[in-house]
């Protein structure tokens, strides 16, 4: 599928990092400022080894739109002081370490158990980006 995500392994941290933007090519790094590289890395979402296993065993696929919505939800949680957040993207639930932008675990409708989430301080519903664009709130 063309809308699936590119996953880049980072062995030092034990995470896999997924960026919304194209990968930085080694040839292009010389012309890229440190601030641009830092900005690109702060917009990324990382997945812990545990979350990667959950995505795989539960056959959870996150589209590019879903990843964008997840990243935007993490930004919102951070802006409101969230530390450990539950982010809902359609029928998927993600527990996020907001400060490190790390997905700790992932669940779909079938694996939410009783629907009780503990050790979180915030919930963000990641609606479709254009869902409420024309409504006045």
Asked if the model's pLDDT at residue 18 lies above 60, the reply is: no
Predicted confidence (pLDDT) at residue 104 exceeds the cutoff of 80: yes
| Predicted confidence (pLDDT) per residue in 81-92, tens digit | 999 999 999 999
Spatial separation of the C-alpha atoms in residues 48 and 122, rounded to whole Å: 20
Pick from 45, 49, 57, 54: which is nearest to 85 by CA?
A: 45
114 pLDDT more than 90: no
Mean pLDDT value across the chain: 76
Q: Would you say residue 8 has pLDDT above 60? A: no
If you average pLDDT over residues 41-58, what whole number do you get?
A: 87
What's residue 29's pLDDT?
46
Q: Does position 110 have pLDDT exceeding 70, yes or no?
A: yes
User: Where are the alpha helices (H) located in the chain, listed in sequence order?
Assistant: 26-29, 34-42, 49-57, 64-79
């Amino acid at each position: 599928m063309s809308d699936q995500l590119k996953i880049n392994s980072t062995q030092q941290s034990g995470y896999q990092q997924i960026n919304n933007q194209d990968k930085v090519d080694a040839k292009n790094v010389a012309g890229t400022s440190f601030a641009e590289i830092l900005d690109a890395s702060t917009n990324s979402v990382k997945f812990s080894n545990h979350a990667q296993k959950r995505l795989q065993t539960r056959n959870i696929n996150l589209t590019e739109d879903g990843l964008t919505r997840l990243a935007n939800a993490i930004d919102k949680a951070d802006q409101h002081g969230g530390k450990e957040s539950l982010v809902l993207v359609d029928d998927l639930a993600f527990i996020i370490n907001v400060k490190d932008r790390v997905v700790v675990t992932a669940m779909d409708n079938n694996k939410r158990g009783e629907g009780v989430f503990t050790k979180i301080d915030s919930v963000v519903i990641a609606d479709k980006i254009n869902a409420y664009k024309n409504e006045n709130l």
